[in-house]
Amino acid sequence: MTTLVYVPRETSAVSVGADEVAVAIARHAKEAGESIELVRNGSWGASWLEPLVEVVVDDQRIAYGNIAPEDVGSLFAAGFLSGGKHARRLGPIDEIPYLIGQDRWTFWRCGLIDPLSLDDFRTHKGFAALEKAFADGHEAVLEAVAASGLRGRGGAGFPTGIKWRTVADARGTQKYIACNADEGDSGTFSDRMLIEGDPFGLIESMALAGFAVGANKGYIYLRSEYPLAHAILSRALETARHNGWLGEDIQGSGFNFDIDLHLGAGSYVCGEETAMLESLEGKKGIVRYKPPLPAFEGLFGKPTVVNNVVTLASVPNIVRLGAERYAALGVGRSKGTLAFQLAGNIKRGGLVEKPFGITLRELIEDWGGGTASGRPVKAVQVGGPLGAYLPASQLDTPMDYEAFIEIGAMIGHGGIVVFDDTADMAQQARFAMEFCALESCGKCTPCRIGSTRGVEVIDKMIANEDREANYDLLIELCDTMEDASLCAMGGMTPYPVRSVLKHFAGDFRDPAGGSK
Amino acid sequence: MNKTRQADLGTPGVGTAATVVVEIDGRKAEVTKGTSILRAARETGVDVPKLCATDSLKPFGSCRLCLVEIEGRKGYPASCTTPVEDGMKIRTQTDALARLRRNVMELYISDHPLDCLTCSANGDCELQDMAGAVGLREVRYGFDGANHLDAEVDTSNPYFQFDASKCIVCSRCVRACDEVQGTFALTIEGRGFESKVSAGIGESFLDSECVSCGACVQACPTATLMEKSIVENGMPDRKVVTTCAYCGVGCSFQAEMKGDQVVRMTPYKDGQANHGHSCVKGRFAWGYASHRDRVMAPMIREKTSDPWREVSWEEAIAHTAKRFKAIQEKYGRKSIGGITSSRCTNEEVYVVQKLVRAGFGNNNVDTCARVCHSPTGYGLKTTLGTSAGTQPFDSVMDADVIMVIGANPTEGHPVFASQMKRRLRQGAKLIVVDPREIGLVRSPHVEASYHLDLLPGTNVPIINALAHVIVSEGLADEDYVRERCDLDSWESWKAMILKPENSPEAVAKVSGVDADRIRAAARLFGNAPNGAIYYGLGVTEHSQGSTMVMGMANLAMATGNLGRSGVGVNPLRGQNNVQGSCDMGSFPHELPGYRHISGDDVRSQFEKHWGVTIDPEPGFRIPNMFDAACAGEFKGMYIQGEDLAQSDPNTHHVEAALSSMECIVVQDLFLNETAKFAHVFLPGTSFLEKDGTFINAERRINRVRPVMPAQQGKQEWQITQELAQAMGYPMNYASSAEIMDEIAELTPTFNNVSFAFLDEVGSVQWPCNEAAPMGTPIMHIDHFVRGKGLFVETDYVPTDERTNRKFPLLLTTGRILSQYNVGAQTRRTANTVWHDEDLLEVHPSDAEVRGIKDGQLVSLASRKGDITLRAKITTRVKPGVVYTTFHNPETGANVVTTEYSDWATNCPEYKVTAVQVAPASRRSNWQEEFAARAKEQGKIAIDAGR
């Protein structure tokens, strides 16, 4: 009898030894004369438990967490292939609290399936949404996406239904789907986890989008820092093409659609949609002015849907299960779920997919288990390097686009980075400007020069040179960058800076933590 | 304040007449629909601050100075990138905007040298203007922060410098290189604060792909890219709009002056041929006009071995008249003649042909167009009825398929090439018919769909094969032909074209071009809604040059591609005024306006006006003059601005003819090659001194205005007039405007033209008369000028110039961007940095079998003579073909060319010469003689006290 063993092949798991664990398991099994089938699945998102090994016993997946290669011997000794007791044994995967509390609408196949097995994907409703779309027609897809209330998960939160409708109605026969997988925000990894855990899911999503708006070509712009995602996605694209899920006349539907995978070149601003389009066109990744919106004049000047990986990947279930079910989740105008990513100084880092409305505190405390250091939370940065630093007093803010805008913050791509009370927030303000200076495309003046001057002004404040005059200057610089920058890069860099000035001003005087 | 800067509306016009009503700062204004707020505001007199926007480039939106507020919209949209909408209420000046602009400007200046007073752009700097406009008073960031103030200055280009410390990274230069010039040489390297303009990867401007068109310098709002002439001399104090004297594009320029010194030539935005663009020659290579080689006083000598003697104008003219009269007395009326120059103005040309016809009493006048575009005149007149191209340059923007035959626009007609490339980048398709892989075949963002790399001398079979496919595959526009063409000629042409020898398969064997490629190209052209043909000397300078011109006209008629925008048969004229010099009656058989000398009506009009009897017999063409000279019958020549000794074929023969004459008068700026055989030298004027008109390749009559007095004391028309008077013919013009008045009076296609009219409207394209008071941009709109379009049969007759075992290769010739024709002008400028010697391009396989290495000296021998030059091994030419330029006299390219010529017009067959190439160790005998003669003549000139 062959035993099924899952060891994730996902970047964060691999970074803590998953590959070595897999090798060790194979070796031990061989030595022990045990017949096993090793499946390299995606991650369930409980990164704090990686490498998280599962073994299938009586159709149940028994999990063992934080396995090091040197633990494998003892696992075998403990009879783990039949679910034996071991210090690292977590019990059935579907009983782990971190996972059972989630609403995995978009990430439901991540961890569950073999990412590169088309059969496994098909067994788990893969391409069912696309088939349904073929049956119901593109109008039904457009309506479902609109009715779901889905908004762009890349950060801007623009209603996806309106975007798709605009492209569908735009003049011209050549249209494109451009998937933004240039996931550059600090503390974010949901795009990568999805690609590594469910690549066919993304392919199906893009085909759905193409079918809905009348595009026959898709592009995935993947950041170069994701080599494993690139390898997995490349294989998946090949398999899909080979099996008639991409290319001409997909599954006899008459619909043509293919996808090109494009690797970025290490520029953060290429995650900005117009810079990404420039880069996809083979040009230097600098921002375009808008309007015209990409929906009218996008890639190569043609109407283009530009969506983030998670946005796209949310669609198949909307089509398959109905928009109402999705719209029933969430709060206010923030419908559905978001894959929150817990990072920074946190005990239980990982991906948590929950409906909007959950508070930061719930995420950080209930899921994250507080700081890894055990010290009090001082600040939380939500939404990447351009997101505001929220003080502990704002932890009860519900995760809701509008509620965040109200407090001068943004949800962005759902990345949550936690800092404890030892953090020097003046340095974090400086870092915001420094990051902008490093990553600015250099097109517009406020961002190109302003960010560099911002670092200098903050340095002067920290060094107590004309602190008040420089404070005023910094505020004016923030106004200038926010109001005059060409894109959100320069326009939002002031967010973290202002939030530090507002909530942690004491750190400029007393870096040791004056605002504790 | 700057006195020469041209108005800038910020963003390009949108080319529509529709309007919307907006409110700008409380005032209602009707503005063009779809235009930017920035332009709309500027058009109504509201100057919104701006730096990165300029109306020659697409909006970019980077400087963030032109921000405005729009009622009902969030934030501060950039006015350059936001189109106006009906009912929009815009505020361009508010406290918030003022603060933002000041703060943005403060950022700029925090990384900019504070050396305005000593800066070369002082007084012509948009950054300086904007700092003033937004009221910047302090830079609170200080000047100790990160900056680029120590950036190096790149002075590698001879004409302009790049001072990165002054760069504001607005990308105007990069965008100008891309959008205007189409070379894509510049880029912004790095990102963020490290962004910097770069001409290549670690390359200087000179070493980069930059073609020095000057578009970047023109676009730069600061002193970053600055003409060295301005760095040296400071800002100009006045400007004069005039016309470039290089190629047939006829760009309008602003001569920017300081006193009577030119300090800069900038392309004129209202110039209808160039729309504010330029090339390295017109923009920068004008220094020859004040070169020390320029002759400033008349000179005479008895024998060509004597030293030159400087004399007064009176003596020179009296001496010339006396000699000419003596020759005529001794050898007869027809023993002298004149040559007009396509570099001179219409007025100057007109008086020379008038001097010959009325003063010399014969028709021995010819022009350098003989050796370039005479087949164009003949071929287009025969088929369509007019000796000129059919379209304005702007027509190319409506073309869907462009066929370029025997022309190399990016080198020869660079400003038009940029426009053509702009159209190609918009998606028009390109077919190149050329033995050589010219730049257009493949350059950044432009690629020919088909390159028919035919063997030199096989144009006619190729055009026949293209027509064969179009007719046999039903792609001809029979409705058009039935309505507009002579049907008998159509039927007989069709029968000819369908003959098997004109099929692509048969022609493939002759031309060396695959039949499939010919077919595909024909289909592309035949199916084009608008197909346009552009051609150059690669068409005309053949034994069947006129046949080929008619072949193209046939094809255009058969496909219905004449008489509207986007189509046509368009010669790219070589010289600035080759069209005009032909129009002015420079040919021995034609009076001004292409009217045959034998026509009694026409002749009598001129006879009445001129008060003389005109010989009804055509006079000598240039080659006839040489032959007659060798036969002892032709003894005197008045040569206006043409270098026959360098530019005419078979140099040995030309030199023999020139040596046999008794009085050669050369009127030129320099002691050119022909002057070595001359007895009288009359110094001419440069275009900067001339007052007159040039006519470009699109029949556009442009004003040439004097920006300084004639440096040698006389306008050239005055010299000719005084010579006429001395010869006994009364010529009494008070100004060149009066000459144009006479031209207009006597030439139906010029009836409406006068200097006053041109000064008022800018320029017009002839015909310009009562029927077309504002000129005629597109010819043959409803019907052909000749009535019905005439198809002419174009059977292929191979040239007698054949390859054999002794001369197995075919030589063809061409031009290069930085040099101009015989190089008299450009060799006397810093343009030599790009091309200081003519090279022989040889295919690697031909080089290999001959043991020729790149850069090695090789001999180039034909049946006529041999020269030595350096080899350049390249696949731009195909095996069996070699190529060279002819810009340097010491190369002597025409020592090897033959006297074969076009059957109709005697235009020399420069483009086909059978040659052999072999490694060499020394200069050829002719080159040795040339060097000796150059030394001798140089000595003579020095002896003359120059």
Domains, chain A, in order of start with CATH, read 3-100 (3.40.30.10), 118-327 (3.40.50.11540), 331-420 (3.10.20.600), 425-509 (1.20.1440.230)
Span B737-776, pLDDT tens digits: 999 999 999 999 999 999 999 999 999 999 999 999 999 9
Contacts of A477 in chain B (CB under 8 A): 103
Contacts of A450 in chain B (CB under 8 A): 107
Token couple for B240? 């004069």
* A191-219 mean pLDDT: 98
A-B interface: how many C-beta pairs under 8 angstroms? 104
Pairwise CA distance, residues B868 & A366, whole Å: 89
A357 has a pLDDT exceeding 80 = yes
Judge whether B143 is closer than 8 Å to chain A, CB to CB: no
Three-state secondary-structure class, residue B443: strand
Q: Where would I find the H helices in B344-477?
A: 346-354, 374-383, 409-412, 414-425, 459-472
B944 has a pLDDT exceeding 60 = no
Of A242, A236, A244, residue with least CA distance to A196: A236
What class, spelled out in words, does domain B153-290 have in CATH? Answer: alpha beta
Contacts of B191 in chain A (CB under 8 A): 267, 269, 286, 439-442
**Residue for token digits 């035919």?**
B454
**The pLDDT of residue B789:** 95
A interface test, pick of B67, B109, B174, B191 with most A CB neighbours within 10 Å: B191
Contacts of B107 in chain A (CB under 8 A): 445-446, 449-450, 453, 480
- CA of A279, closest CA in chain B: separation in Å? 14
- Tell if the CB–CB gap between B104 and A484 is shorter than 8 Å: yes
The listed CATH number (3.40.50.150, 3.90.740.10, 3.10.20.740, 3.30.870.10) that belongs to domain B19-134: 3.10.20.740
Of B156, B788, B849, residue with least CA distance to B486: B788
CB atoms closer than 10 angstroms to residue B206: 15
Judge whether A442 is closer than 8 Å to chain B, CB to CB: yes
Of A26, A93, A22, residue with least CA distance to A57: A93
pTM: 0.93
| pLDDT band, residue B946 (cuts 50/70/90) | very low
Bridge partners of residue B842, in order along the sequence: B873, B882
Measured between CA atoms, the residue of chain A closest to residue B184 is A283
**The pLDDT of residue A513:** 45
Query: Letter for the amino acid at B620?
Result: F
- Above pLDDT 90, what percent of chain A? 95
Measured between CA atoms, the residue of chain B closest to residue A456 is B145
Of A492, A397, A400, residue with least CA distance to A440: A492
* A468-489 mean pLDDT: 95
For residue B886, the 8-state DSSP code is: -
Of B555, B537, B656, B436, residue with least CA distance to B902: B537
* A119-136 mean pLDDT: 97
**The pLDDT of residue A515:** 42
Pairwise CA distance, residues B367 & B593, whole Å: 15
CB A7 within 8 A of CB A18: yes
Which of A267, A450, A479 lies at the smallest CB-CB distance from B191?
A267
CB A347 within 8 A of CB A358: no
Sequence-separated (6 or more) residues with CB below 8 Å from residue A102: A45, A352, A353, A354
Sequence-separated (6 or more) residues with CB below 8 Å from residue B23: B29, B88, B89, B90
CB A62 within 8 A of CB A54: yes
B652 has a pLDDT exceeding 90 = no
| pLDDT band, residue A10 (cuts 50/70/90) | very high
What class, spelled out in words, does domain B809-937 have in CATH? Answer: mainly beta
CB A49 within 8 A of CB A355: no
B136 has a pLDDT exceeding 50 = yes
- Tell if the CB–CB gap between A449 and B107 is shorter than 8 Å: yes
CA geometry: angle B59, A273, B13, nearest 5 deg: 15
- Tell if the CB–CB gap between A453 and B107 is shorter than 8 Å: yes
CB B371 within 8 A of CB B645: no
Query: Letter for the amino acid at B741?
Result: D
Which of A291, A440, A486 lies at the smallest CB-CB distance from B191?
A440
CB atoms closer than 10 angstroms to residue B728: 9
- Tell if the CB–CB gap between A479 and B145 is shorter than 8 Å: no
**The pLDDT of residue B1:** 52
Token couple for B562? 């004449």
- Tell if the CB–CB gap between B63 and A445 is shorter than 8 Å: yes
**The pLDDT of residue B574:** 84
Contacts of B444 in chain A (CB under 8 A): none
Span B228-268, pLDDT tens digits: 999 999 999 999 999 999 999 999 999 999 998 999 999 99
Pairwise CA distance, residues B142 & B794, whole Å: 76
Of B276, B247, B222, residue with least CA distance to B9: B276
Span B868-902, pLDDT tens digits: 999 999 999 999 999 999 888 888 888 898 889 99
CB B341 within 8 A of CB B314: no
Three-state secondary-structure class, residue B784: strand
Pairwise CA distance, residues A243 & A230, whole Å: 20
Measured between CA atoms, the residue of chain A closest to residue B103 is A480
Token couple for B440? 């257009």
CATH 3.40.228.10 residue ranges for chain B: 374-570
Return mean pLDDT, chain B. 94
Sequence-separated (6 or more) residues with CB below 8 Å from residue A27: none
Span B532-588, pLDDT tens digits: 999 999 999 999 999 999 999 999 999 999 999 999 999 998 889 999 999 999 999
Return mean pLDDT, chain A. 95
Which helix H or strand E contains B70, and what residues bound it? strand B69-70
* B422-446 mean pLDDT: 96
Which of A449, A476, A477 lies at the smallest CB-CB distance from B111?
A449
CB atoms closer than 10 angstroms to residue B69: 18
Token couple for B872? 């350049």
- Tell if the CB–CB gap between A448 and B78 is shorter than 8 Å: no
Of B410, B403, B434, residue with least CA distance to B527: B403
Contacts of B171 in chain A (CB under 8 A): 443
Residue B27 CA: distances (Å) to CA of B21, B66, B849: 10, 18, 78
Contacts of A445 in chain B (CB under 8 A): 62-64, 104, 107-108, 168
Which helix H or strand E contains B942, and what residues bound it? helix B925-943
Pairwise CA distance, residues B121 & B66, whole Å: 22
Furthest-apart CA atoms within chain B: distance in Å: 92
Contacts of B74 in chain A (CB under 8 A): none
CATH 3.40.50.740 residue ranges for chain B: 299-372+577-757
Contacts of A480 in chain B (CB under 8 A): 100, 103-104, 107
Judge whether A452 is closer than 8 Å to chain B, CB to CB: yes
**The pLDDT of residue A516:** 39
| pLDDT band, residue B126 (cuts 50/70/90) | very high
A interface test, pick of B50, B62, B194 with most A CB neighbours within 10 Å: B62
* B516-537 mean pLDDT: 97
- CA of A113, closest CA in chain B: separation in Å? 41
CB atoms closer than 10 angstroms to residue A154: 24
**The pLDDT of residue B940:** 65
* B589-606 mean pLDDT: 93
Residue B15 CA: distances (Å) to CA of B18, B32, B34, B128: 9, 9, 9, 32
CB B705 within 8 A of CB B241: yes
Judge whether B771 is closer than 8 Å to chain A, CB to CB: no
The listed CATH number (3.40.920.10, 2.70.240.10, 3.40.50.740, 3.40.50.300) that belongs to domain B299-372+577-757: 3.40.50.740
What class, spelled out in words, does domain B374-570 have in CATH? Answer: alpha beta
Contacts of A279 in chain B (CB under 8 A): none
- Tell if the CB–CB gap between B192 and A289 is shorter than 8 Å: no
Pairwise CA distance, residues B930 & B905, whole Å: 30
Span A139-186, pLDDT tens digits: 999 999 999 999 999 988 999 999 999 999 999 899 999 999 999 999
Which of B59, B67, B171 lies at the smallest CB-CB distance from A484?
B67
For residue A341, the 8-state DSSP code is: E
B interface test, pick of A477, A483, A485 with most B CB neighbours within 10 Å: A483
Token couple for A35? 């017949």
- Tell if the CB–CB gap between B192 and A473 is shorter than 8 Å: no
Peptide bond into B113 cis (omega under 30): no
A512 has a pLDDT exceeding 80 = no
Pairwise CA distance, residues A285 & A301, whole Å: 16
Bridge partners of residue A350, in order along the sequence: A342
Token couple for A424? 């020097």
B938 has a pLDDT exceeding 80 = no
* A225-247 mean pLDDT: 98
Span A69-102, pLDDT tens digits: 999 999 999 999 999 999 999 999 999 999 999 9
Which of B76, B194, B195 lies at the smallest CB-CB distance from A484?
B76
Measured between CA atoms, the residue of chain B closest to residue A490 is B192
Three-state secondary-structure class, residue A365: helix
Pairwise CA distance, residues A217 & A222, whole Å: 16
Task: ipTM value, please give it.
Answer: 0.93
CB A294 within 8 A of CB A277: yes
Strands (E), A345-412: 350-355, 377-382, 389-391
